[in-house]
Amino acid sequence: MSTATETREPATPASPSPGRSTQLAKAGDWARRAPLLPALIFVILMTQLPFLATLVISFMNWNAYYPNERGFAGFDNFRRVFTDVNARQAVIVTILLTVAVVLISLVLGLGIAMLLDRKFRGRGVVRTLMITPFLIVPVAAALLWKHALYNPEYGLFNGLLKFVFGENAPQPDWITNNPLWAIIASLVWQWTPFMMLILLAGLQSRPLDVVEAARIDGASSWQIFRSMTLPHLRQYIELSGLLGAIYVVQNFDAVFTITSGGLGTANLPYFIYQTFYTAQDYGRASAAGVVVVIGTIIIATLALRSVFSLFKEETR
């Protein structure tokens, strides 16, 4: 179930890097494949095989609590995934979570990347401060948000409210009031640096003489941004957005830590974890897993395209 075949671009070069000497290319096919095989076989064994097994189990009646009822189930598990309220909710949460986190952190990341693309005193320090959220272990980050920031009694947020507005300041219970947004905020905090880093790399690969020429010709900053910066950044925006989406779709740490999937925040990875780990319903968990994969393949196909276009540029 690899997506590589689906995205094979027509432009795939038949002969590899033309720059390489033909002399080097003379060795036998097997001598060349040999160094590749260990990695290839290992990856197939460890990633493709388990997924194939998941696919098989998704068509089976298999609940570890009822070992005697194991058997072929057809599309039953899938039907249950799409009719079960919790499962449907998990699908919706996954989409909401992914779209919100990716969009918000992309926009923030772009703005901050533009700010950091200028030279100013302490730019290195600001950049370092900016990427700190990305370097905190995800579970630790989620714990930090849950206990040190969101806690209604002694969290930083309510502490600041009290500090600013005095004794009668509102003291909301952030997680209970807006569980999904509590998770989204913590993930945006973690992912904005990622977007920022890639977009900054994109900004810095921009040919500056052209921008300068446009400026001399009297183009405004906004015009330069709209018609030069943004088109140049397009593939970087796509790349960071889609890579971000692939990671956020799979998010488990934040949901598990901040709400434990409660209050209607269980996303598909958490739902699968719960269905197989707690409920021991292997068939249904596998069907949900297959749904995640189908969703991811849709995103991934787009992502591969975008990576491919960058990659093509690199090899010319």
Partner 1 sequence: MSAATPAPSTTPERVGGPQPMEPSEIRHRKPARSGSLLSLLAWVIGFLFALPVLWMILTSFHSETDAATNPPSVFAPLSLEGYKSFFAAGPWPSLLNSLTASVVSTALVLLLAFPAAYALSIRPVKKWTDVLFFFLSTKMLPIVAGILPLYLFAQKVHLLDNIWWLILLYTSMNLPIAIWMLRSFLAEVPVEMLEAAQVDGASLTRTLRDVIAPVVMPGIASAALICFIFSWNELLLARVLTGTVAGTAPVFLTGFVTSQGLFLAKVCAASLIVSLPVLAAGFAAQDKLVQGLSMGAVR
Binding mask 93-112 for partner 1 (x = CB under 8 A): -------------------x
59 belongs to the binding site for partner 1 (CB under 8 A): no
User: 90, 93, 243, 266: which one contacts partner 1 (CB under 8 A)?
Assistant: 243
Report whether 100 contacts 108 (CB < 8 A): no
- Residue with Cβ nearer partner 1 (27 or 85): 27
Of 70-78, 81-89, 98-106, 125-133, the window that binds partner 1 (rule: CB under 8 A) is 125-133
Q: Which string of b and e fits 86-112 if b means at least 16 CB within 10 Å?
A: ebeebbebbeebbebbbebbbebbbeb
Binding mask 281-310 for partner 1 (x = CB under 8 A): -x--xx--xx-xx--xx-xx--xx--xx-x
CB of 261 to partner 1, least distance (A): 11
- Residue with Cβ nearer partner 1 (57 or 180): 57
CB of 119 to partner 1, least distance (A): 5
Only one residue has tokens 């971000």, namely 244
What whole-number distance in Å separates Cα of residue 127 and Cα of residue 125?
Answer: 5
116 belongs to the binding site for partner 1 (CB under 8 A): yes
What whole-number distance in Å separates Cα of residue 55 and Cα of residue 53?
Answer: 5
What whole-number distance in Å separates Cα of residue 155 and Cα of residue 73?
Answer: 49
Q: Which of 224, 229, 199, 202 is nearest to 214 (CA)?
A: 224
| CA atoms 199, 200, 205, 209: torsion sign | positive
73 belongs to the binding site for partner 1 (CB under 8 A): no
- Residue with Cβ nearer partner 1 (68 or 119): 119
User: 104, 107, 143, 263: which one contacts partner 1 (CB under 8 A)?
Assistant: 143
- Residue with Cβ nearer partner 1 (99 or 129): 129
Burial of 183 (0-12, 13-18, 19+ CB in 10 A): buried
User: 151, 173, 178, 224: which one contacts partner 1 (CB under 8 A)?
Assistant: 151
Report whether 79 contacts 88 (CB < 8 A): no
Binding mask 170-209 for partner 1 (x = CB under 8 A): -------------------x--xxx--xx-xxx-xx--xx
Judged by CB under 8 A, the chain residues 208 through 227 that form the site for partner 1 are 208-209, 211-212
Q: Which two tokens stand for residue 182?
A: 């509590």
CB of 277 to partner 1, least distance (A): 6
**Structural element, H or E, at residue 72:** strand 71-72
Q: Residue 215 corresponds to which amino acid?
A: R
| DSSP for residue 135 | G
# chain residues binding partner 1, by CB under 8 A: 134
Judged by CB under 8 A, the chain residues 253 through 272 that form the site for partner 1 are 253, 256-257, 260, 268-269, 272
